[in-house]
Structure 1
Amino acid sequence: MNFDIENIHLGNLIKLRVNELEIPIKQICKFINTDENKIEEMYKEQFLDSDLLLLWSKLLSYDFFRIYSEHLVLYSPPSFSHAKNKITIPIFRKSIYTREMIDFILDILEKGKKSKQQIINEYRIPRSTLSKWIIKYKI
């Protein structure tokens, strides 16, 4: 399954992971401290509160927050150099691409949804990086 990083639906992803791990609903209810109906409702939700998402991440041994991090790497606006001097919170490097992100980009290219130039412009991926991915993953 190719993951669509543009359209994140946490409930669907959580349900997929629960099914993969075959975790009994009673165990989930006990861990999340809720009933079966609320769990089923969560599966339908596109977004969840961060404290709830943290519980799911722990229960399912999967970092659901990273999905948003990957989204930010691809879709965040360029940073402004004059603002960097005022930032007191940690600044993360943007040049870290996961395999899922690479697959997402190459899938777009292979299916003809976007050209190489569109990918370079929209996602600000260096031309040399995209070329290396194409060679390495043979599309």
Structure 2
Amino acid sequence: MLYKEIHIGELIKNKVEEIEVTIRHIAEVFKIPENAVLEMFEKPELSTGELLKWSKLLRYDFFRVYSQHLILYTPQYPNPVKKNEKSKSMKFRKNIYSDELIEFVLELVKTGKKTKQEIVDDYRIPKTTLYKWITKHQVVSDLE
């Protein structure tokens, strides 16, 4: 899965087909016409309420797709809060890597689509973390 361009409607449609849920059942659960369900598959974005309903119905965390996008594509900035000041807003932590993300990165290494250094540079994954994943999963690049 590519996390850079997210078309949530397509992802939901793929999951519906994968677990073989009927459009009629979805329409009944959402209390909308069947054609409205089909229209949702065409939308690149959905409201959080709709996405939450889909996540519950299909038993898949679609919000994680966006979290993985943030982990991979949000630049890290220095903390603007001074050491003595405490931030009143929530802090975004980028140290949570899902199994899907780890598989995605290891597949890039294995197929040779990106070098280890490119992964470290492009996705800001610490080099030690990447090498631990490679060791743990015994990934050998096709180009090595």
Work out whether the TM-score is over 0.5: yes
What TM-score does the superposition give when structure 2 sets the normalisation length?
A: 0.84
In 2, are the aligned partners of 1:74 and 1:123 still within 8 Å (CA)? yes
Equivalent residue, structure 2, for 1:98: 98
For residues 43-122 of structure 1, the aligned pairs below 5 Å read 43-83=41-81, 85=85, 87-122=87-122
Q: Deviations over 1:102-135 (max 9, x none)?
A: 1111122222222211111121111111111111
Q: 1 or 2 for the larger relative contact order (CA 8 Å, sep ≥6)? A: 1
CA distance in 2, matches of 1:79, 1:50: 27
* TM-score (norm. length: structure 1): 0.86
Consecutive unaligned residues of structure 2, counting only runs of 5 or more, are: 140-144
Distance in 1 between residues matched to 2:19 and 2:81, nearest whole Å: 44
Once the two structures are superposed, residues 65-123 of structure 1 have per-residue CA deviations (whole angstroms, 9 ceiling, x without a partner) of 11101111111110321247574222142111111101111122222222211111121
What is the count of residue pairs matched by the alignment? 137
**Seq. identity, %:** 45
Partner of 1:12: 10
Distance, in Å, in 1 between the alignment partners of 2:2 and 2:60 is 17
Unaligned runs of 5+ in 1: none
Name the stretch that deviates more: 69-78 or 39-48. 39-48
